[in-house]
Amino acid sequence: MPELLLLIQGMLWLHQKICSMASLYSLNSSTVSESNSYLKELDDFLPQFLSGGLSVKEQVDFIQTVIDLDLQDRYQLHQECKYFVLEGFCYEVSVGND
């Protein structure tokens, strides 16, 4: 039962993050605005991720966010994102002709 609660809490947290991320996209572009404060927060997480300073959950959350916002180029994390997807920690949904 505690595992189910943790799963539900994680899903709720992810839902909240996804909803807040929706405001990151402009109507004319699928990229994140450079002036967005959420993007600056992600920029701060990068050195911690690269140095191994994040917990497993924080790593998964960070990589999932990078995937969701299509920021692999910005952070040069293509291999890491592929690894997390292949290991089942994260998921990637192809949309349109991608």
The pTM of the full predicted model, rounded to 2 decimals, is: 0.63
- 60-70 confidence digits (pLDDT tens): 999 999 999 99
- Print burial letters for 57-94: b (CB count within 10 Å at least 16), e (below 16): eebbbbbbbbbbbebbebbebeebbeebeeeeebeeee
Residue 59's identity, in one-letter code, is: Q
**pLDDT tens per residue, range 41-98:** 899 999 999 999 999 999 999 999 999 999 999 999 999 999 999 999 999 987 766 5
